Chains A and B, each alone.
Chain A
């Protein structure tokens, strides 16, 4: 009903003009503070807030912070800098005698917040206006209505305007004497707003509300609930993808060492840990020598982590694993021993406690898309996980290293007789798998505690992913990671995090009985031999 709105706006404008021409409510209200009674303070507060006076905001803020002082019937304001000014004149003052802050109780405090909300509605800064709109929405202070109307009239920012209208709708809905038609319009606006708070407002209508209003509110609430459920599901999907990416990162190196080489590397988690500690060392160095580079620290850490973990991996392969090919159970035990040594080594060097790994500025904060909240570090990890996956896929498919690794995997002796140096390929492939685990560590240092136990937390999960997805198939690892991630997050709301995880573990154990070689198993004689 645009015509009604215009009429209303004109009306409000008129009131506003009369208020400012009279030029008195501010001064008239001030002496009420002198009584220092809660009721009077509140009346004064509301009058000042609606006065439109230039100093109104400063006064209300001062009241909130206990900087509005009383001395000999006069009201003074102590600025943050410490200077005293006379509230009535705005001049610096130097009163004699005792000054005491004007007392406030919860009621006054609430009123102050509401007043601040309406006062800052007209601020020049859009962010302040937005915050003010939200504050008013929460307080639903009828006194703020006029200021709100004024703000809506001159608001140019669509985003802020929506918030303002939402706040006005909230007030109108809870205002006993508002017109039913206005209230219905308010319900529509709230439904469009569609968040938890709007839902709360719509479901807590006063008991004496007219039936048609109750029905409209009920319908609107239902609509909001459906939409919220949708966004909630979407948010869960996102959490699932996000967890899946973490699992993918942790498991993808394992997919090479275990999946294509058949080597059980129980020290895989420690390769992730080495990557995370590399990040820590890089950041410490940057903090010490080139603080300006901090935002680039992760990019510097990536190649270093790859090298560090890859080198350790090659050393492990040359030093231990190559003597144990064809004896998977022994490999498992020996690499477990290595993992203990690596953990204790890191504990000895860096100490047993968590080390602080910082987040670059570009990774902090969150992207808000309608009902979704996507934190930037999670987004970065998802993108990063998929990039690593894609690169690895290309490496395995199109480079000679990938070709050789696949050749050695399928028929070691034939590959050797074709002139492939299988020893070297083993070492390089193991180094590649470990290096990838290292760069996973860089990413995981952003969301997990960097401690000597970091790797332990991932080892079972990564094995589950690889075993579930099917050995010897990178796509299987991707699907495995995403499925487990999603399943975990889908179960969490119903079963809780721990029980959800238990359910998943049991499901995988049962699944392996059905398909002992995973989701994407290779079939055929070669595999069974």
Chain B
């Protein structure tokens, strides 16, 4: 492929914007004089960081839904698992500074009268190990789940329903105290990460920049995947699965590969999310969360990657505004959004914009070019 090494226009725009955000937010927060119009207050930095993590999560969903037609209603589970892996590291970092001042055991275990650290908590005090788990735990779960589901050709809504069952089962499991993940309350009261206090503004700025970098890297990874022949096969699977099969492609292997990669991306998003919001609890597994994040992608425009990022940012900013200003109406607005997008703008904001742009170009008489979006877009 000739386009692989050269960035297309969309990627340049996305990466430039991300770079600008990565510079501006810390500068406006750290250097601008507090009280001035340019100053970004301290509580906004983790909030924006949270949006960025959601954007990465949306990206992971777009990769499988937009490009391979797999609608996962359980992607929140991979996000939460990545988050728990990070949470376990942060929990062990607390060390003896907990309420019960136990040298090893986190507070909730002391509270439950546990004597020893459960085996699955071993190693989480080591940062590289915890980061490995951030990738591996969601990845392995996705691999096993996908292997079972795709091999027996569970597709469409059936797949959606069982992914929902998966995250629901995990939610029930994590609510149990004796699972060893803090039950109801989850993991919280974190102190620091790699020795840097989580409450300090500078740590938060660094976490923000890291999140943006992860989003950029995730975007590039996805762009590379969908631009390769592999990506073309994914779109082929999405649009005509049995045709792809009869061409000799093992559709289940492709689905499994992309599902696993996507789950790992979601795990990274979760891991970056937890230190910025300061808590991870079982409600992150709630099926409703996973469905909500699908709508971010739909709003932005699925099958475009940039749309997923845009959608996540727009919907979450809207959510923050609504829940502050008109809390009663947030669910009306969200519900209405679901209906509006599916009925009227199935290609999302970006798709609609792209459609307008193409029509404008056609009116100006230019020939259809070799679009870098080949593979993007959605079959109605």
Contacts and interface: CB of A to CB of B under 8 A. Distances in A.
B151 A513 contact: yes
A509 B157 CA distance: 13
B157 A320 contact: no
Interface stretch (A150-158, A163-171, A494-502): A494-502
Contacts of B291: 266, 333, 336
Interface in A283-334: 320, 323-324, 327-334
Interface residues on B, range: 35 or more
Nearest to B151: A513
Contacts of B339: 320, 334, 337-338, 341
Contacts of B335: 336-341, 344
A337 B169 contact: no
B336 A516 contact: no
A460 B287 contact: yes
A516 B150 CA distance: 10
A458 interface: no
B165 A505 contact: yes
Given A460-B165, A508-B165, A334 B331 contact: no
Interface in B310-354: 328-329, 331-332, 334-339, 341-343, 346
A508 B71 CA distance: 19
Nearest to A331: B342
Given A264-B157, A332-B71, A510 B169 contact: no
Contact of A514 (B71, B152, B161, B288): B152
Contacts of B336: 337, 341
B164 interface: yes
Nearest to B298: A333
B173 interface: yes
Interface in A323-369: 323-324, 327-334, 336-341, 343-345, 347-348
A281 interface: no
B135 interface: no
A424 B152 CA distance: 36
Query: Chain B contact residues: over half helix, strand or loop, or mixed?
Result: helix
Contacts of A345: 332
Interface in B257-303: 287-288, 291, 294-295, 298
B157 A337 contact: no
A244 to B, nearest CB: 18
Nearest to B341: A333
B190 interface: no
Contacts of B298: 333
B332 A336 contact: no
Contacts of B73: 332
A348 B156 contact: no
Contacts of A266: 291
Given A333-B294, A338-B339, A340-B331, A460 B175 contact: no
Contacts of B294: 333
Contacts of B162: 467, 508-509, 512
B51 interface: no
B99 interface: no
B12 interface: no
A430 interface: no
B342 A502 contact: no
A238 interface: no
A190 B160 CA distance: 57
Nearest to B145: A509
Contact of A513 (B152, B164, B343): B152
Interface string A444-483: 0000000000001000100110010000000000000000
10 contacts: A328-B156, A333-B294, A337-B336, A341-B331, A344-B329, A463-B161, A498-B176, A512-B158, A513-B148, A516-B158
Interface of B: 71, 73, 145, 148-149, 151-154, 156-158, 160-162, 164-166, 168-169, 172-173, 175-176, 287-288, 291, 294-295, 298, 328-329, 331-332, 334-339, 341-343, 346, 380
Given A502-B172, A514-B152, 7 more contacts: A334-B339, A337-B342, A338-B335, A344-B328, A348-B328, A498-B175, A512-B149
Interface of A: 264, 266, 320, 323-324, 327-334, 336-341, 343-345, 347-348, 456, 460, 463-464, 467, 498-499, 501-502, 505-506, 508-510, 512-514, 516
